[in-house]
Amino acid sequence: MTGKVVVITGSNAGIGREAAVALARRGATVVITSRSELRGGPAREYVRRHSRAGDRIVLLDLDLASFASIEAFAAQVLDRFDRLDVLINNAGGVLSDRRETREGFEMTFGVNHLGHFYLTQLLLDRLLASAPARVITTASIAHRTGTMLWTDLERSGGYVGTDAYCQSKLANVLFTLELARQFDPAALTANCCHPGAVRSGFASAEDTRGFERFIVALGRPFMVSPRRGAKPLVVLAASPRFEGVSGGYWVGGYVPGVHRHRPSRQARDPEAGARLWSISEQYIEQTLRKGT
The catalytic residues are 165
As beta bridge partners, residue 261 has: 249
Which three-class secondary structure string do you get for 15-54? HHHHHHHHHHHCCCEEEEEECCHHHHHHHHHHHHHHHCCH
Residues 6+ apart with CB under 8 A from 14: 198, 200, 201, 202, 226, 229
Alpha-carbon separation of residue 199 from 165, 209, 228, 253, 279 (angstroms)? 18, 17, 10, 11, 34
Alpha-carbon separation of residue 141 from 68, 149, 196 (angstroms)? 31, 18, 8
